[in-house]
C-alpha cells in the first residue's frame, strides 16, 4: 500500500533564499528594482483600497519582532521581520524576514517566501520611487551614510530609478565602506569613499541615511544639511531609534508612508504629535504637491510599510507563476473530505504500516 501523496490543495509554493537569488540573477537586479518600484507606485496610487494598521511589534532588550499584515480585499499579505542591531556580532543578519501571500476568498496561502533579500529590494525601490517625486530635478549625486546590508541596493535603485551617477559612501566602520565600494565596482556608478558624514554629503542632492543602532543617534546634525536637498532617512524605524537631529526635521517638509506607524517609529517621534506631515500616496495621486521649490529640504521619514511588502509579494507571485522551478511545500492539510481531518491521519497511519 503506497503512502497517500499530498493533494494539490496542500501545496504552497516556496521561494527559498537560493530561489530568490536565481530569480534576481535571471531578471537582473536593476530591472527587478524598476519592476518593484512600479508595483509599489501602483499600490500607493490605490492606497485607499488597502486595510491598513501599524505593524504589531514585540519589543525586547535586544530588538524587535514585527508582523506587518495588509490586504486589498482580494489578496492578503503579511511579513514577519526582526530588527536586532547586535546580531552581526554572532554572524547573523540585523534584519531577516519572510512573508506570505494569501487568497482572501479562501484564506489559503498561495506563496511563502524568504524576504530578507526581498525587503532590501523593496526598501531600495521605495526609497528611489519617493525620491523620483521629491528629489531636486537633475540630482546626480547621493550620499550613502551607513554601508551595511541595505546600502548597495539603495545605491543601485537610485541609479536605475532616479538617474544618480555618483554615490559618496560613509560608515562609522571603514570596512563596511570598503565592502560596499568593492560591491559597487563595475556597476556604472562613480563611487567615492569618504571618511566622515560631512565629507559624504559634499555636493550631494540626495542624502540617504541607513544605520542600525537601536538608540537615538545623530547621523546628521543641523549644520551639515544645506538647502535644496532630499533626505531619505531609512534607519530610524522603531521607538527610540532615530538618526537625524531634531532641527533638521523642523526645517524640512516631511513625507511619510502611514502616519499612525511613523509617529511611533520614525524620525518624527522627536516632534509633537500634530507636526504636519504629508502622506506620500497623496503625492503619487497628485492630490498634494511634492517638491515645490529649489531651496526646500524634503525628508522621506521612511519606516517601511506593509503595503510595500504586499507589492513585493504580488510581484513575486506573478514572477514565479512563469517559473516552474519553485519548490512546493506540504504546508496545508488537505483531506479528501474536508471535514475528515482525523480520518486523513488514520488512513496515513494504515498506509504507512508494513503489509
Find the binding residues for its own copies in span 290-349 (CB under 8 A): 329-335, 337-346, 348-349
Is residue 82 part of the contact set for its own copies (CB under 8 A)? Answer: yes
Contact at 8 Å (CB) between 87 and 65? no
Looking at the Cβ atoms of 213 and 334, the one nearer to its own copies is 334
Residues 191-229, buried b or exposed e (16+ Cβ, 10 A)? bbbbeebeebbeebbbbbbbbbebeebebbeeebbeebb
Q: Compute the distance between CA of residue 248 and CA of residue 224 in angstroms, rounded to an integer.
A: 9
Window of 12-20, 128-136, 254-262, 297-305 that interacts with its own copies by CB under 8 A:
12-20
Per-residue mark of binding to its own copies, 123-162 (x: CB under 8 A): ------------------------xxxxxxx---------
Task: Tell me which residues in 180-219 interact with its own copies (CB under 8 A).
Answer: 180, 182-183
Task: Tell me, by CB under 8 A, how many residues bind its own copies.
Answer: 84
**Residues 35, 43, 171, 237: which is the catalytic one?**
237
C-alpha cell at 38: 512600479
Q: Which of 24, 34, 172, 264 binds its own copies (CB under 8 A)?
A: 24
Closest contact distance (angstroms) between CB of 283 and its own copies is 27
Residue 152: phi and psi, rounded to 5, are -65, -35
Closest by CA to 44, choosing from 214, 294, 279, is 279
Distance of CA 200 to the CA centre of its chain: 24
Q: How far is the CB of 26 from its own copies (least distance, A)?
A: 10
Binders of its own copies among residues 89 to 128 (CB under 8 A) are: 90-94, 96, 98, 100, 102, 104-109, 114, 116-117, 120
Complex with its own copies: residue 11 or 38, whichever CB lies closer: 11
Tell me whether residue 237 is one of the annotated catalytic residues: yes
Strands across the sheet with 56-59, in order? 56-59, 64-71, 75-83, 97-103, 109-114, 11-15, 327-330
Amino acid at each position: 500500500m503506497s503512502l497517500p501523496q499530498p493533494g494539490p490543495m496542500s501545496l504552497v509554493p516556496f521561494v527559498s533564499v537560493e530561489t530568490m537569488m536565481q530569480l534576481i540573477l535571471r531578471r537582473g537586479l536593476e530591472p527587478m528594482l524598476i519592476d518593484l518600484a512600479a508595483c509599489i507606485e501602483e499600490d500607493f496610487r490605490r492606497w485607499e483600497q488597502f486595510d491598513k494598521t501599524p505593524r504589531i511589534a514585540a519589543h525586547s532588550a535586544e530588538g524587535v519582532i514585527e508582523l506587518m499584515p495588509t490586504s486589498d480585499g482580494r489578496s492578503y499579505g503579511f511579513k514577519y521581520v526582526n530588527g536586532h542591531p547586535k546580531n552581526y556580532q554572532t554572524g547573523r543578519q540585523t534584519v531577516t524576514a519572510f512573508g506570505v501571500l494569501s487568497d482572501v476568498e479562501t484564506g489559503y496561502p498561495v506563496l511563502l517566501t524568504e524576504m530578507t533579500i526581498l525587503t532590501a529590494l523593496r526598501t531600495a525601490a521605495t526609497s528611489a520611487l519617493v525620491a523620483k517625486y521629491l528629489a531636486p530635478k537633475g540630482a546626480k549625486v547621493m550620499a550613502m551614510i551607513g554601508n551595511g546590508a541595505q546600502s548597495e541596493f539603495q545605491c543601485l535603485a537610485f541609479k536605475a530609478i532616479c538617474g544618480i551617477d555618483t554615490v559618496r559612501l560613509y560608515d562609522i566602520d571603514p570596512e563596511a565602506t570598503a565592502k560596499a565600494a568593492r560591491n559597487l565596482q563595475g556597476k556604472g556608478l562613480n563611487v567615492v569613499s569618504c571618511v566622515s558624514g560631512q565629507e559624504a554629503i559634499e555636493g550631494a542632492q540626495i542624502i540617504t541615511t541607513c544605520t542600525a543602532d537601536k538608540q537615538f543617534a545623530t547621523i546628521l546634525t543641523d549644520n551639515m544639511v544645506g538647502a535644496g536637498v532630499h533626505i531619505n532617512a531609512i534607519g530610524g524605524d522603531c521607538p527610540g531609534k532615530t538618526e537625524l537631529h531634531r532641527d533638521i526635521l523642523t526645517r524640512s517638509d516631511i513625507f511619510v508612508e502611514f502616519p499612525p506607524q511613523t509617529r511611533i517609529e520614525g524620525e518624527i517621534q522627536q516632534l509633537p504629535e500634530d507636526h504636519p506631515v504629508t502622506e506620500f500616496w497623496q503625492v503619487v495621486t497628485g492630490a498634494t504637491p511634492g517638491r515645490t521649490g529649489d531651496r526646500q529640504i524634503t525628508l522621506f521619514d521612511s519606516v517601511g510599510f506593509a503595503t510595500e511588502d504586499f507589492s513585493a509579494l504580488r510581484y513575486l507571485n506573478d514572477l514565479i507563476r512563469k517559473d516552474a522551478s519553485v519548490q512546493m511545500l506540504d504546508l496545508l492539510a488537505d483531506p479528501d473530505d474536508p471535514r475528515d481531518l482525523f480520518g486523513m491521519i488514520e488512513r496515513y497511519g494504515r498506509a504507512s504500516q508494513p503489509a
